[in-house]
Amino acid sequence: MILIDGQPASPDDLAHQALVNYGAYSSLRVEGGAARGLALHLARLEQSALALFGEAVAEGRLRDLMRFAVGGREACWLRVSLFSPAIGHRDPGFVGAPRVMTAVFDPPPPLAGSVRLMTLDYEREAPELKHTATFGLMRARRAARAAGFDDALFVDRDGRISEGSLWNIGFVQGDTVVWPQAAMLAGVTQAILSDALEKTGVTQQTRPVTRDDLRTFDGAFLCNSATPAASVTAIDGLTLSEPSALVQRLRGLWAAAPLEPL
């Protein structure tokens, strides 16, 4: 079910989306008309709208459109996208509130229980935004799969590990969780887990992490809205111990996070 401003998407709407790759989105799991980290998703959409279109969509309208799209579904996956048909390759100058596309799907399974990663020198354009320019992400995932890994872990021009193709990464060093410091998308799940870890007294650090630092860690995990936590068992040729206890704890912290009504 794809809607544009609450109405069924027209062929012209979908043609523009297919041909003009300019916009932003956020996607989230909805349970009983509510979602974890909803305020963070709404803030992300506001930030993206201001950065890409010069004007945000009112939060009340976003909530109305989200509720309408979900309808009476008990559980679903909701993607909220922002775009403007007034922006094209020949004339990209439109400034104003974007249109809102909502798409509803069955909830996806987690990406994996554990993954093997390949580092790749790559930086997303405007990494602070969850934008629709995903060519580089898919190309990176394909390259990792072709090399025998599950996914790609990005390293920026300064040699700092940043993020994965569709997720954030955390490292384990003794009793400390280390989040990499670099330009990246601030993940909603990462923020929820970090807040929960702080409240339960777990020590956390955010600092630059390089390829050479990987051998100093006891383990690693990835997280996103579909996968609250999954073990990283290898990065390039380095085998890592699975932080099974921490991963289970993170999943529990995610499940205990409050559901915010749409």
* 18-35 confidence digits (pLDDT tens): 999 999 999 999 999 999
Task: Find out whether 57 and 100 touch, Cβ atoms under 8 Å.
Answer: yes
198 belongs to a structural domain:
yes
Question: Is there a single domain that holds both residue 83 and residue 159?
Answer: no
Q: What is the mean pLDDT of the chain?
A: 96
**Which of 107-116, 121-130, 154-163 is least confident?**
107-116
166 & 253 share domain:
yes
In a domain, 215, yes or no: yes
Domain boundary among 83, 105, 127: 105
Instruction: Indicate whether 226 belongs to any domain.
Output: yes
Q: Do 50 and 179 belong together in one domain?
A: no
Quickly count helices (H) and strands (E) in the chain: 6, 16
122 with 197, same domain: the answer is yes
Count of domains forming the chain: 2
Say if 223 falls within a structural domain: yes
Residue 157 lies in a domain: yes
Residue 43 has pLDDT above 90, yes or no: yes
Domain of 207, CATH number, reads 3.20.10.10
**Span 87-113, average pLDDT:** 95
pTM: 0.95
pLDDT of residue 135: 95
Q: Please identify, among 70, 105, 140, the residue that sits at the C-terminal boundary of a domain.
A: 105
State the pLDDT at residue 112. 87
Please compute the mean of the pLDDT values over residues 189-215 and round it to a whole number: 97
Cα–Cα distance for residue pair 44/231, rounded to 1 Å: 27
148/92 same-domain check: no
Residue that finishes a domain, picked among 61, 80, 105: 105
Evaluate whether residue 6 is within a structural domain.
yes
**Strand ranges, E, within the chain:** 2-4, 7-8, 24-31, 34-36, 75-83, 99-105, 114-121, 151-155, 161-164, 168-173, 176-180, 203-207, 219-223, 230-235, 238-239, 259-261
The 10s digit of each residue's pLDDT in 112-128 is: 889 999 999 999 999 99
* Domain hosting residue 20, numbered range: 2-105
- Does residue 165 sit in the same domain as residue 235? yes
* pLDDT digits 0-9 by tens, 48-67: 999 999 999 999 999 999 99
Specify if 262 maps to a domain: no
